[in-house]
Structure 1
Amino acid sequence: MQEMQSTNPVLSRPDAWQVDTTQPQYGQGQQYQGQPYQGYPQQGQQPYGYTDANAPQFGQPGQVAGRMTIDDVITKSAITLGVLVAVAGLTFLFLPTALIFPVWIVTAIVSFGAAMLVAARRKVNPGFVLVYAAIEGVFIGAISKAYESLWDGIVPAAVLGTLVAAAATLAAYKFFRIKVTDKFRKMVMIGTIAYAGVLLVNLVLSLFGIGNIFASANIGLLLLISAIGVGLAVFNLILDFDFIEQGIAMGAASSESWRAAFGLTVTMVWLYIEMLRLLSYFRR
């Protein structure tokens, strides 16, 4: 089977989607590794070395308990995004204006570190996922309040735009049967890394007071850059959908649904921020 890949840092581990191999599986073409047969049994007795608990059922594929399903992914994603939205709403309502910028910077750094930590872990802790969602919620609440203070009504428009873009991407992926090829993955990965590099350089320059790439650019270039960001976020959503679909087909453990929810949350946050940026340029 083709190796699964994703540009999403959470879903890019080579050993993501762990299959539970601790339970015996007997099916067609599988061998029973029990004790050898020791002669003919007496009438009414089980064969020597076999018991009801370990007797294989030949010809019927075995079932592994606790496999990830699409319902698991939807439920965990709803929980994770629900925590994020709730915390973001509280932050938006009650965060003092004077603390917007420092909270914005601190939570951005912490949430980025948390995402990298999850990407490095073999198993995802559900509690840690929800803690990350809360931290990311503070970040989203702070950045949303900053944009709303400059452009009234931009936050509801950005939320609506994010939901519409995500829904349209999922519909296109399912109904048009979009095939994710290795070439497509590589192109999206290169574009994502390049775009992230530009944003990182701009952030460092801004923090040290050297300059701001976006502040000195004309509106046409800003719209182009933001449109590229939205497009890359949408392409990453497609990769995430494909990656999750492959994980379900491979029989990943049900606990991996938290990793899927985490990865989708990271991409949705990125898409929302790009929507905010794009709408702000139109408002100018």
Structure 2
Amino acid sequence: MRSSNPVFSRRGFSRDNSGYAGFGAGAQAGAASQGNPYASGQYAGNPYAQPGNPYATNPYAQGGPDLQQGQQAPARATGRMTIDDVVTKTGITLGTVIVAAGAAWALSLPVGVGFGAAIVAMVLGLIQSFKAKPSPALILAYAAFEGLFLGVISKYYNGIAYGAPMQAVLGTMAVFAGVLIVYRTRIIRVDRRFTRFVIGASIGFLLLMVANSLFAVFGGGDGLGFRSGGLGIAVGVVGVLLGAAYLALDFKQIEDGVAYGAPREESWLAAFGLTLSLVWIYTEILRIIAILNND
């Protein structure tokens, strides 16, 4: 299953799993490839078990020569991505976002500067999404500019609804915890059907937002009304649900990367993907709170 998240879709974090997904559900890197259900048959597309994939030469990956012969992986595993790596890199990336947001808030940067930072962050994010390898400097630069944007809009919305940013932070944390729980308890199934649904819903959502923006630019006001009133709240809830779905896809890709011996540098890419999803959820919740307090 390929993630629809552009950060992971080119990386090879994939398992064609039609069942439930959960941390530790699959065979761990280091097990014999002949005992790995994802190394043959309908799962032959597992990139960490294929000689031709870019990670096959990684001595710590599932597809190493020793494992292809059914032998055990080397005891030394410092070259593989781990959950601890992902947590550490995510903490650094989100910490950069928070510091930059705090600086933008304290300096009371103009709204124009905030949206300029958002454009720069978008460009940097797209560049990283299409790079062959993750670049920590590029990811942290994205986090810094994204943080400036979040600091500006957070202060703006705080003027509309006092305390909205903190409520949005708490809401984002609650969504993250909720998705993690339902993922680990196998309540949700992250499979091809789930991925296709999320992709389709995301495309429809983005098209609606683009149409709304165009009507707002040329017709004035709030365009089609997708960002105000009861309709705006409903659209915001859909946006939060989509962000939660992308978090589930992120968890799936991280699980697969750890299970099948992705290189350690991929933890930066995992942190980047999680940051994208969390920023999306935060901005949608912030908008919902502002609408609720403005009606």
TM-score with structure 1 setting the length? 0.81
Distance change >3 Å, CA 104–CA 207, structure 1 → 2:
farther
1:196 aligned onto 2:230: no
Equivalent position to 2:262, from 252, 257, 263: 252
**How many angstroms apart in 2 are the aligned matches of 1:143 and 1:226?**
16
Letter in 1 for 2:290: S
1:65 to partner: Cα distance = 4.3
Q: CA deviation at 1:170?
A: 0.7
Residue in structure 1 matching 2:186, options 176, 181, 199: 176
1:27 aligns with 2:66: yes
Shift of 1:138: 0.3
Aligned partner of residue 27 in structure 1, secondary structure: helix
Structure 1 position 79 matched with structure 2 position 115: no
Answer with 15-24 or 103-112: which moved more. 15-24
Offset at residue 212 of structure 1 (A): 2.5
Contact 1:80–1:265 (CA under 8 A) maintained in structure 2: yes
Match of 2:129 in 1: 119
**1:159-174 equivalence runs, <5 A:** 159-174=169-184
Letter in 1 for 2:160: L
Letter in 2 for 1:79: I
Question: More relative contact order in 1 or in 2 (CA 8 Å, sep 6+)?
Answer: 1
Q: Give unmatched runs, 5+ long, in structure 1.
A: 31-57
1:5 to 2, 7, 20: 2
Match of 2:18 in 1: none
Relative to structure 1, the CA distance from residue 59 to residue 280 in structure 2 (aligned partners, 3 Å threshold; closer, same or farther) is closer
Q: Which moved more, 1:123-132 or 1:267-276?
A: 123-132
* 1:243 aligns to 2:274 (yes or no): no
Aligned to 1:272: 282
Whole-Å Cα distance in 2 between the matches of residues 115 and 179 of structure 1?
28
Cα deviations across residues 10-58 of structure 1 (Å, max 9, x unaligned)? 122154685261549453652xxxxxxxxxxxxxxxxxxxxxxxxxxx9
Report if aligned partners of 2:216, 2:224 keep a CA contact under 8 Å in 1. Answer: no
- 1:79-100 Cα offsets, whole Å, 9 max, x none, are 000010011011112124xx22
Q: 1:59 to 1:183 in 2, by over 3 A?
A: closer
Corresponding residue number in structure 1 for 2:149? 139
3-state SS of the aligned residue for 1:127?
helix
Give how far 1:104 is off. Answer: 2.7
CA–CA distance in structure 2, aligned partners of residues 19 and 177 of structure 1: 31
What does residue 27 of structure 2 align with? none
- Between 226-235 and 59-68, report the one with greater CA deviation: 59-68
Q: Is the 8 A contact 2:90 2:268 kept in 1?
A: yes
- SS of residue paired to 1:213: coil
Q: Look up the match of 1:41.
A: none
**2:92 maps to 1:92:** no
State the distance in 1 between where 2:74 and 2:289 align.
52
Instruction: Say if 1:214 and 1:222, in contact at 8 Å, map to a contact too.
Output: no
- Residues in 2 aligned to 1:201 and 1:104: alpha-carbon distance in whole angstroms: 23
Q: CA RMSD for the aligned pairs?
A: 2.3
Superposed CA deviations along residues 163-201 of structure 1, whole A, max 9, x for unmatched, are 111111111111235321111100001111211222233
The number of residues matched between the two structures is: 251
**What is the TM-score when the length of structure 2 is the normalising length?**
0.78
